[in-house]
Copies of this chain bind each other. A is one copy, B any other.
Amino acid sequence: MSDDLLTEPLRIENGESHAPARRRPRRRHRRGEGFATTAPTTERPRDTTPRGHPMTTDVATAAASGASATERFHTDKSPYAAVAGTPPERVDRLARRVLEAVYQTVRDEKVTYDEFNALKAWMIGVGEDGEWPLFLDVWLEHVVEDVNTAHREGNKGSIEGPYYVPGAPEHGSTGTIDMREGEAGTPLVWTGTVTSTDGTVLADALVELWHADADGFYSQFAPGIPEWNLRGNFRTDAAGRFEIHTIQPAPYQIPTDGSCGRLIAAAGWHAWRPAHLHVKVSAPGHESADRAVCTSPATSTTTTTSPRP
C-alpha cells in the first residue's frame, strides 16, 4: 500500500492543483455561525481545530457532522434492500476473509489486551460520533471505487464521499452556483467538456457540482449554511460544454475532534484534504462518473464517460 492511501485517502484526479501563492482574505468569524476565525489559506493551513466558537453550541463538531452524515445515509440509501438476494455463502466468505486477516494481524503483531480494549473503545466511539460513514468513505471507498470502475475506459473515478446530496438547483450550461452574498473565497470559473469514450461530445449531460466553502465546510453538514450553498446542477450545451462560476474551496481537515481524528493522531497521520471540487457526471446511455478535481482560479477539464455496457 502506498503511503498516500492513508495520509491522502481522498484521491484527486487531474486538473491543475497549483493554488496561487497569495493568501485569500481572512474571513471574520460571525457569531452564531460557529465558523473558525482562522480561515484556511491557499498554502497548507495550520490546524485550526477545534472549529467553532467555544461559547456557541451551533458549531461544526465531529459529532454534529457525523450525525448529519449518518442521518443522510439512512435517508438516501436502502442498503439492506439492495443486497437482499445475497447468498449466505457470499457473506460468510467476505466476513471470514476479513476476520482471518484480523486474526493473523493479532497473532503476528502480538496484540495485547490493552490494545484490544482500546480498539473496542474506539469502535464504540466511531458509532457514538456518527463517523462510520466518514471512516468508510475516507479509508475504504476508494478501493471499492477502483474495483467497480476497473472496466471503464473513460476517466478514472474517485469517490462520491459522504457529502453528496441529490437534487440541487439546476442552472443550464452556464451559470453561477448558489452562494451567500459576499461568499468568501477566490472566484473560480470551471469550464469543461463532457465526451463519450470515443470522443463524441455529449449534449445535455448532467454535471452535479458540490464543494466546501472557503472555510472547508459543506452545506447541509455544517451548521449555519444555506441548504444548497455551493451545490448546483448544470447541463452541457450542444457542444458538450459547461461553464460554472463559483468560489475556490478551501483545503480542509476531516474532523479532528472525533474518533477518526483520534485514530489519525494516534497513528501519526494528518487529516488534511486538498482543496477539491466534487463532480458527478451523467448522460443517457452512459455510466455515471464521480470525480474530484483539484482547482486553480481558472480550471478547465474534459470528463470522459463510458457507454453503459
* Chain A interface residues toward B at CB < 8 A: 1, 5-6, 70, 73-74, 77, 79-80, 82-83, 86, 88-89, 91-124, 126-128, 132-133, 136, 139-141, 143-144, 146-148, 263, 266-269
A-B contact pairs, 14 of them (CB 8 A): A1-B103, A6-B95, A73-B117, A74-B121, A79-B122, A88-B267, A91-B263, A98-B101, A102-B143, A103-B140, A107-B143, A120-B133, A123-B136, A124-B132
CB–CB A118/B83 < 8 A: yes
Residue numbers in B under 8 Å from A92 (CB-CB): 6, 267-269
Closest partner residue, chain B, to A121 (CB atom): B79
CB–CB B136/A6 < 8 A: no
Residue numbers in B under 8 Å from A115 (CB-CB): 83, 86, 94
Closest partner residue, chain B, to A73 (CB atom): B120
Residue numbers in B under 8 Å from A100 (CB-CB): 1
Q: Out of B70, B104, B128, B141, which one reaches A116, CB within 8 Å?
A: B141
CB–CB B136/A106 < 8 A: no
Q: How far is the CA of A148 from the CA of B115 in the complex (A)?
A: 11
CB–CB A105/B98 < 8 A: yes
Chain A contact residues: over half helix, strand or loop, or mixed? helix
Residue numbers in B under 8 Å from A269 (CB-CB): 92
CB–CB A118/B82 < 8 A: yes
Residue numbers in B under 8 Å from A120 (CB-CB): 73, 79, 132-133, 136
Taking A114-B82, A127-B127, A268-B89 as contacts, is the C-beta distance between A136 and B109 under 8 angstroms? no
Q: Out of B94, B112, B117, B144, which one reaches A77, CB within 8 Å?
A: B117
Residue numbers in B under 8 Å from A141 (CB-CB): 116
Nearest chain B CB to A2's CB is how many angstroms away?
11
Q: How far is the CA of A77 from the CA of B134 in the complex (A)?
A: 27
Residue numbers in B under 8 Å from A124 (CB-CB): 70, 73-74, 127, 132-133
Taking A77-B121, A121-B80 as contacts, is the C-beta distance between A111 and B127 under 8 angstroms? no
Q: Out of B106, B143, B144, which one reaches A144, CB within 8 Å?
A: B106
CB–CB B267/A111 < 8 A: no
Q: How far is the CA of A245 from the CA of B268 in the complex (A)?
A: 53
CB–CB B136/A86 < 8 A: no
Nearest chain B CB to A263's CB is how many angstroms away?
7
Q: How far is the CA of A300 from the CA of B74 in the complex (A)?
A: 52
CB–CB A136/B116 < 8 A: yes
Residue numbers in B under 8 Å from A123 (CB-CB): 126-127, 132, 136
Closest partner residue, chain B, to A94 (CB atom): B109
Closest partner residue, chain B, to A95 (CB atom): B267
Residue numbers in B under 8 Å from A266 (CB-CB): 86, 88, 91
CB–CB B112/A263 < 8 A: no
Residue numbers in B under 8 Å from A89 (CB-CB): 268
CB–CB B91/A119 < 8 A: no
Nearest chain B CB to A242's CB is how many angstroms away?
26
Nearest chain B CB to A287's CB is how many angstroms away?
12
CB–CB B96/A1 < 8 A: yes
